[in-house]
Structures are given as C-alpha cells and as structure tokens.
Amino acid sequence: MIVPALIGSLPRPIGLAKKLEQYYIGRLDERKLEEAYREYTRRAFEKLRDAKIKVITDGLYRWDDIFNPFIRFIDGIEVNGLFKFYENNFFYRSPVVRGEIALKENPIPEWISIAQEIKEDVYPEATLKAVLPGPVTLAYHSINEYYKTLTDLAEAYAQVIGELIKELDVKIVELQEPSLAAEISEATKNIEDRVDKEVAKNIIEDLGRIKKLWVVTYFGTPQVLPEGVILNVDLIEGSVPEEYSGEIGLGIVDARTTKMERADRLRDKIRKYLAKFETIYVTPNTLLDFLPESVAWKKLRLLGRLGGE
C-alpha cells in the first residue's frame, strides 16, 4: 500500500511572515499572533486534506529552522552564529554547548496539542506527527564546548529529547536526522569528531521505545539503520540500503527543484519497492521550506495522487 505523507516543514506563508514582522516591531500582540498561527495551521490542514496527504505535520510554522526555537529551551546552550544548512541558501542558528544540557520548561507540547485539536476539527482521519530535531543531527550542528566527544553530546541530546517526547500528544514523533545520511555539509565546516554509529543507532532505538519514531534522513543514503522505526530515505540524493528491511518512507518528490515530476514515472519508481515493503510512505525528499509555497503545494498534490495502490 502507498501512503502519501508529509515530512518536516511547509513553506511559512508570506501572510504569516507579515504577522510575525508586525509582532516583532510591537504592532501585533501575542494573542493575535497565536490566532494567526492557528488560522494558518487550519488552512494548511485543509489543504493537506484536499491533497490527500494521510500522515501530516503541523508544518513547523512556529519554527525558524529545525533547531530553533527548541534549542532555546535547553539549559547549557547559547544560540549563536548563523550557519548554512547543508548546501542550501537556508541558514540556522547554531547551538553552542557551554555546559551540561537539561530540558527547560517549553511550549512545544502545547503547540502539538493545539495542532491536534485543529486536525481533529478539519482532518480527523489524518495522523499527526510531532517534529523534533534528532540527537545526532543536533550534535553535528552544535559547537561543542563542554562535552568530551560529539558522541557524548548526542547521548545528552537524546536524554533531553526523550523527556520531551513523553509529553507530546501524538502517537508518532518525527526526528529530523539528515546527519544519519550526510553528517554535516563540508561546505559549512570541517569537523574532526564523529558520532559513533553504533551509539547513534542505540540512542535512536532507545528513543523509539518511548514513542513510535519516524526518522527522516536526507541528502544521501543513511549510514545508520535504526530498528523499530519508520526510516525515511531520500531517493533523489540517496538510496535505500539493501540490508534495510524495516518500515520505510521514500522521499521521491524533489523539494529542491521547481521542475515538476511526472506521476507515471514516480509510480514506476515506487513499484519496485512494493515487492519488499508492505506499506510505503511516499514523501518529499527533504524540507518543503526550500520551495516557493505554490510549487510546494503542487508537489504535495502530486504526492497525494500516488496514494492507495
């Protein structure tokens, strides 16, 4: 069976960006901003319903990138310099780890509950995933000034994420883990230290025991294959490792080009996997944030047409 699904973010609508600008300069109060978030989330869910996307996220409209604002809610971290997110013209604020990390009080569980309520109202048959950055990707994208090794840091992040996962009102948590496929972009920085692959596998599997995980990798072929999770693989810039036999998501629509794919060719591409996997989730290959909004929705509607086979 083919199930169309969304991973990660949707492009933040310009209308919502304008509301945020007004908020930043003090011309919109917090209550009005919250109303705007809810209204745009509602519209997104309606469009996802119309596009027949069965597994959804809240589009990360409240997030500036996959790390922020989450890293602001962790003790021991300062948010510092701007870095390129892989080779995209898309940037993230980097966590600078200055001390032992611990989860602070944060609004993410409430954001997810709000999204659940809206989803129940407009698209109850869909499954909503909560999205968080994965511990390995967080470690690779941090400036580590405290922990002895990057592996230690990844383990510390896993603790924090584990605590948060327990509080989320969803059955599935999506971890953004591009670093399992492409550790970090050489375009941004050179790093000597690496997260031990066996440890990476173990910490993700441990998190998967708290709640069902959908582990999203992109910009390459995953080098770490955690068990007991849904592993999302980027088929544009990577491939499914032959030895992988768990649940699978296939990133078959290119979220980094405006050129539209043909549905028949995508179906041909999927068919060869149907022999091996009973259920295949079809998704964009990476964050839809890299596309203009109109094109992103066109690509999602295309994905929706692939469902059901």
Contact positions toward other proteins, by CB under 8 A?
11-12, 14, 17, 20-21, 24, 64-65, 68, 80-84, 87, 89-92, 185-190, 257-259, 289-295
Distance CA 209, CA 61 (A): 28
User: Closest distance between other proteins and the C-beta of residue 88, in Å?
Assistant: 8
Find the shortest distance in angstroms from Cβ 80 to other proteins: 8
Can you tell me whether residue 267 is helix, strand or coil? helix
Neighbours of 292 (CB within 10 A): 12
For residue 5, which of 250, 257, 247 has the smallest C-alpha distance? 250
Cβ closest to other proteins, residue 15 vs residue 246: 15
Q: Which is nearer to other proteins, 92 or 147 (CB)?
A: 92
Q: Which is nearer to other proteins, 70 or 83 (CB)?
A: 83
Looking at the Cβ atoms of 87 and 163, the one nearer to other proteins is 87
| DSSP state at residue 5 | B
Dist. CA 10–CA 174, nearest whole Å: 14
Instruction: Return the bridge partners of 103, or none.
Output: 74
Residue 58 C-beta: closest distance to other proteins, Å? 16
Residue 3's SS3 state is: strand
Q: How far is the CB of 204 from other proteins (least distance, A)?
A: 27
* First-last CA distance in the chain: 5
Least distance (Å) from other proteins to the CB of residue 140?
14
Nearer to other proteins among residue 90 and residue 163 (C-beta):
90
CA–CA dist 101, 219 (Å, integer):
28
Q: How far is the CB of 15 from other proteins (least distance, A)?
A: 11
Burial of 82 from C-beta contacts in 10 A (0-12 / 13-18 / 19+): exposed
Contact indicator for 279, 3 with CB cutoff of 8 Å? yes
DSSP 191-233: ------HHHHHHHHHHHHHHSEEEEE--SS--S---SSSEEEE
| Minimum distance of other proteins from residue 184's CB (angstroms) | 10
Q: How far apart are CA 177 and CA 287, in angstroms?
A: 12
Q: Which is nearer to other proteins, 103 or 143 (CB)?
A: 143
Q: Smallest gap, in angstroms, from Cβ of residue 89 to other proteins? A: 5
Q: How far apart are CA 289 and CA 131, in angstroms?
A: 14
Closer by beta carbon to other proteins, 65 or else 183: 65
Nearer of residues 88 and 116 to other proteins, judged by Cβ: 88
